[in-house]
Amino acid sequence: MQIFDLSGRTALVTGSSMGIGNALARGLGQAGARVVLNGRNTERLEEAAEALRAEGADVGVLAFDVCDAGAVQEAVDRFEAEEGALDILVNNAGMQHRAPLEEFPVEAFERLMRTNVESVFLVGQAVARHMIPRGQGKIVNIASVQTALARPGIAPYTASKGAVANLTKGMATDWARHGLNCNAIAPGYFDTPLNAALVADPEFCTWLEKRTPAGRWGRVEELVGACVFLCSDAASFVNGHTLFVDGGITASL
């Protein structure tokens, strides 16, 4: 269906050398987009890009620290000037730190907020400054099931992902009038490097399988359809929405 076709569009995906970001980049490429991978480790990015190119994708690399305002603006401006328009942005870069809230290190809290919230603002703003004059653009922020639910030991992460959902609403409120669609995807529990400690914990896995109506961990490729939809013309009147892809965990007690 042409309404889902991303041919001729360029998509920047932050934090995309591995995990969810890499899966989303692969899916956007399969939908026809030119994909630009982002991260701080150039070697890892090049390896990821080569793997996707071997599958037939059109892939570029743009290395910068999403928490460095100057680096973000310089990289985005340079790409727009030298490589062309960024039509799609997927703000995926994020981190986790687990500790009881009463013992949570201040420096870890600050680092988590910079990575999970400030980066969405910085990269979103830098890209939107180019999208707005063109009158179109798609921004998809990666939230979490923790946008709506809390669990012991990750209170700051929960706060950060709640902020991502509300920042997404703010982006839509400010930028929809300029032709931008700003939405979020909230993944449930997926088998990713970020969740490696939980995947390796039999007790947690047993709990998760009982707690999730689908009865299992999610697979990263199961996020692709939601991302392609939100990045396509099929979502032309969807704005400020957070789409939960969580196996039903937020729908049940």
Q: What is the structure's pLDDT at 111?
A: 98
* Dihedral over Cα of 129, 82, 3, 187: its sign: negative
C-alpha count within 13 angstroms, C-beta hemisphere, residue 129: 11
For 42-80, the pLDDT digits (tens) are: 999 999 999 999 999 999 999 999 999 999 999 999 999
Catalytic residue among 64, 79, 121, 157: 157
For 106-154, the pLDDT digits (tens) are: 999 999 999 999 999 999 999 999 999 999 999 999 999 999 999 999 9
Query: Does the annotation count 157 as an active-site position?
Result: yes
Q: What is the structure's pLDDT at 151?
A: 93
Domains and CATH numbers, the chain: 2-246 (3.40.50.720)
pLDDT band at 168 (very low <50, low <70, confident <90, very high): very high
What proportions of the chain, in percent to the nearest 5, are helix, strand and coil? 55, 15, 30
Question: Radius of gyration of the chain from Cα atoms?
Answer: 17
Q: What is the structure's pLDDT at 195?
A: 87
Q: What is the structure's pLDDT at 81?
A: 98
Contact residues for 206 (Cβ-Cβ < 8 A; gap 6+) = none
pLDDT beyond 90 at 253 = no
Contact residues for 207 (Cβ-Cβ < 8 A; gap 6+) = none
**pTM, whole model, 2 decimals?**
0.96
For 221-245, the pLDDT digits (tens) are: 999 999 999 999 999 999 999 999 9
pLDDT band at 167 (very low <50, low <70, confident <90, very high): very high
What's the mean per-residue pLDDT of the chain?
A: 97
Q: What is the structure's pLDDT at 172?
A: 98
pLDDT band at 214 (very low <50, low <70, confident <90, very high): very high
pLDDT band at 194 (very low <50, low <70, confident <90, very high): confident
pLDDT beyond 90 at 218 = yes
Q: What is the structure's pLDDT at 193?
A: 84
pLDDT beyond 90 at 32 = yes
Kindly write down the DSSP assignment for every residue of 156-213, as one continuous string.
Answer: HHHHHHHHHHHHHHHHHHHHGGGTEEEEEEEE-SB-SGGGHHHHT-HHHHHHHHHHST
